[in-house]
Amino acid sequence: MKFLLFIFALIPRIAFADLLAGSAPQTTYPGVLISQFEESDAYDPFVDYSEFEEASEEEADINFFRNGRFFTIGFVLGYRSFSDTLGQIYSPAPDFGLFLSYFFDLRFAMQLTFLTGDHSMGFTSPQGTNVSGNASVTSFGLNLKYYINTQNVTKGLASINPYLTGGFANITRTATVKNESAFAKENATGFEIGGGLELPLLRNKMYFGIQATYQLVNFADENSEIVLKNGSESTNIYPTGDIINIFSVLGVNF
C-alpha cells in the first residue's frame, strides 16, 4: 500500500520534468516579450533590395499620378523654310497642324504630329525661262520626347519644361507648275531632331510651347537636274536641301 502511494506521488514530478526538458531554458522578466527566431527571418540583402526598388517604383508612380499627365492634344502654328537649293526655289511660309502626345512617365513621351502648308516656288533658267508655281508640303511624324530635369536649377526656371525630340516623318510634296510636267507629287521619309520649351498654364491644365526641328529628307529627284519643256531645256538646278520648322504649340493636358 505504501508502495502504491509512492508511485502516485512520483508521477506529477516526472511529467513536470519532461515538460521542462522539452522547452528551451530561458529567463523571463515581467513586462518583457520574448521573440522567437526563425530561419526565414535571416537577413537577405537581395530581398531587402527588391523591397527598396518596389518602394521607389511605387513612389514614382504616385508622383506621376499626382503631377504628371497621361496624354496631350493640341494645335501647332509655325513657320517652315528650306535649306540649300530648296531654300532658293521655295519661299518660306506658315504651316499648321495638330498633335497628340502620350506620356510613359514624367520624362518620356511619344508624339504624333500632322503639319501642312503651301509654299510659292519660282526660279529662272539660264536660258531666261521663268518658272513659278505652288508647292504643298505635308508631313506626318512620330517622335519621342525627353524632358530634361530642372529641379536643380533656379526656382524661376524650374517651371520651364525643356525637352529634346527625335523621330521620323513621312513627307509629301506636291508641286504644281503650269505647262510643266517635271514637277509632280513625291513622298520621302525624313529623320527629325529638335528641341523645345513648355510653359504651364491654368495650373498645368494647358501649356504654351515653342519648338524647333530640323528634318533631314531626301526626295527622289534630289540628285536629278530640273529640266523644262519636256526635257529640252536644262537648268543646272538640283533640288537638294532639308526642312526647318519653327512653331508655337498650344496643348491641353489630360
DSSP string, 174-224: EEEETT-SS--EEEEEEEEEEEEEEEEETTTTEEEEEEEEEEE---TTTTS
Residue 173, in any domain of the structure: yes
Which is more confidently placed, 243 or 47?
A: 243
Q: Which three cell numbers stand for residue 203?
A: 495650373
Does 96 reside within a domain? yes
Would 3 be classed as within a structural domain? no
Model pLDDT for residues 53-85, shown as the tens digit of each residue: 555 665 655 555 556 788 999 999 999 999 999
DSSP line for 117-143: EEEEEEEE-TT--EEEEEEEEEEEEEE
Alpha helices of 68-116 — where are they, by DSSP H?
84-89
The 3-state DSSP class for residue 4 equals: helix
- Supply the pLDDT for residue 201: 92
Q: Specify the higher pLDDT residue, 106 or 21.
A: 106
Which structural domain range is residue 161 located in? 70-253
Distance CA 66, CA 86 (A): 47
Q: How confident is the model at residue 118 (pLDDT cuts 50, 70, 90)?
A: very high
Residue 10 domain-assigned (yes or no) = no
Residues 163 and 7: their CA atoms lie apart, in Å, by 92
The CATH number covering residue 146 comes to 2.40.160.20
pTM of this structure: 0.73
Taken in order 54, 55, 57, 58, the sign of the CA dihedral is: positive
Number of domain units in the chain? 1
